Amino acid sequence: MRHDVYSGYLHPGFRPDPDEFVIAHFLFEAQDKANAAQAIAAESSVGTWTELSTMKPRIRNRLAAKVFKLDAKAGLVSIAYPLEIFEPSNIPQFLSDVAGNIFGMKEVESLRLVDFSIPKKYAKGFKGPAIGMAGIRRMIGTAKSGRPHFGTIVKPKIGLNPKENAKVAYEAWAGGCDFVKDDENLASQRFCPFEERVVRALDAKDRAESETGERKMYAPNITAETNEMLRRADFVKKHGGNCIMVDIITAGFAALQTVRNANIGLPIHAHRAMYAAFARNPKHGIGMLPLARLARLIGVDQLHTGAIVGKMDAPKKEVLEINGEMTRAWLGLRPVFPVASGGIDPTRVPRLLDIAGTDLVINAGGGIHGHPRGTRAGAAALRQAFEAWHEGVPMEEYAAKHRELREALQKWGSRTREY
Ligand code: CAP
Ligand code: MG
């Protein structure tokens, strides 16, 4: 490949104005780092593999991306993109630019979008979280205590009929869960039609609320073709629901924008199934942090960000960074409630809280429905594990007087600790 084609995209002295440029940070490997960095900038703005007879000075000067930071040794490059490249309110186009063709270019052996920043005026094109973490805490009544929310995913993932599903949800709420969600692969299959599932689960929620005196949330998974998602969201709202769930990666960011822009007025619980297809390889793809930023920008209210102590690959440093970015002030957007989920059982809660603090929705599926005495006991054990931690009492000591936690320890206490 002739190298001069990509020359002119390297501006080491350039200092981009963060109010006028989108800035993307990449980790990459390449034979010729300087050439590859410029190839990335060219291909993700105005260039291609050869000179163009049709290129105009105004295009090259105004719209070309600029490599302004290059650490060839570390394989890190920062590229500034003039804001004019980006259509307001259009995430698919944003991704087609800073996360599009470039991953497949022969000039790079590997490429990972690790983070980005955007001007506030670009962020204004999006609604952001409608309710946010503070709003959800007000819904459940934990604004003062700041305690974590306890959630479960009805298990088995799929297969229960609406009546069975509602029973499991009721048991979880009655046992102490604040939050119950559908699993990510449950939609409206023949064995569990969406409408009947929602109506029955909401009745169960009402019953659990009146029996416990606690407010509860149910997140039916509305993931489907976009128009159908709007219909399902409207159905949930009309039937008194207080949350909806979207598999934001498999549904896609454009679909998420459509759901958010419909202003349903219910919190969106964002599941990230499929994200690991391009986030897990530390050298290639799109990190969870940029994905989380896009989700917050578009407007989700709860987001799976990793369990650290669970079954999924979720390194502590990465999860804490993402949770910090989701809950700190950013561009005037409401904070998003981080969800820790995946392989959590009650015995892992104290360690999780030591690491990640209490601004968390702690979700346990198998860790509740796999309890020796069933769902209600599993939910109780999850809360008891928190209570032990909160009171500074060693879990084993607390379990001596709390049967459900004791039984959870007997079943799961010896699980290997992957964190
Ligand atoms: C957890 C879960 C969640 C994963 C998602 C599952 O169930 O329902 O989808 O946690 O992972 O289907 O595995 P268990 P992440 O509690 O039984 O593991 O939160 O990392 O996106
Ligand atoms: Mg799941």
Tens digit of each residue's pLDDT (9 = 90 or more) over 194-226: 999 999 999 999 999 999 999 999 999 999 999
Q: What does the buried/exposed string (b/e) look like for 47-68 if buried means 16 or more CB atoms within 10 Å of the residue's CB?
A: beeeeeeeeeeeeeeeebbbbb
**In the CATH scheme, what is the homologous superfamily, with its name and number, of domain 7-123?**
RuBisCO large subunit, N-terminal domain (3.30.70.150)
Residues within a 6 A CB radius of ligand 1: 153, 155, 157, 183-184, 272, 304, 306-307, 311-312, 314, 341-344, 364-367
Q: Whose CA is nearest to atom 1 of ligand 1?
A: 342
Backbone angles phi, psi at 56, to 5 degrees: -120, 145
**Does the active-site annotation cover 271?**
yes
CATH 3.20.20.110 assigned to domain 132-412? The reply is yes
- When pLDDT is averaged across residues 298-321 and rounded to a whole number, the result is 94
**Band of residue 2 on the pLDDT scale cut at 50, 70, 90:** low
Per-residue pLDDT at 1 exceeds 90: no
Q: What is the C-alpha to C-alpha distance for residues 170 and 28, in angstroms, rounded to an integer?
A: 49
Q: What is the C-alpha to C-alpha distance for residues 251 and 262, in angstroms, rounded to an integer?
A: 16
Question: What single-letter amino acid sits at 26?
Answer: F
* Residues forming CATH 3.30.70.150 domain(s) in the chain: 7-123
Atom of ligand 1 nearest to the CA of 314: 20
Q: What is the C-alpha to C-alpha distance for residues 122 and 188, in angstroms, rounded to an integer?
A: 36
Q: What is the C-alpha to C-alpha distance for residues 17 and 8, in angstroms, rounded to an integer?
A: 20
The rounded Å distance from CA 343 to ligand 1 centre is 7
**Does the active-site annotation cover 155?**
yes
Per-residue pLDDT at 4 exceeds 90: no
Atom of ligand 1 nearest to the CA of 157: 12
Q: Whose CA is nearest to atom 19 of ligand 1?
A: 341
Looking at the chain, the whole-number percentage of residues with pLDDT higher than 70 is 98
* Residues forming CATH 3.20.20.110 domain(s) in the chain: 132-412
The rounded Å distance from CA 329 to ligand 1 centre is 28
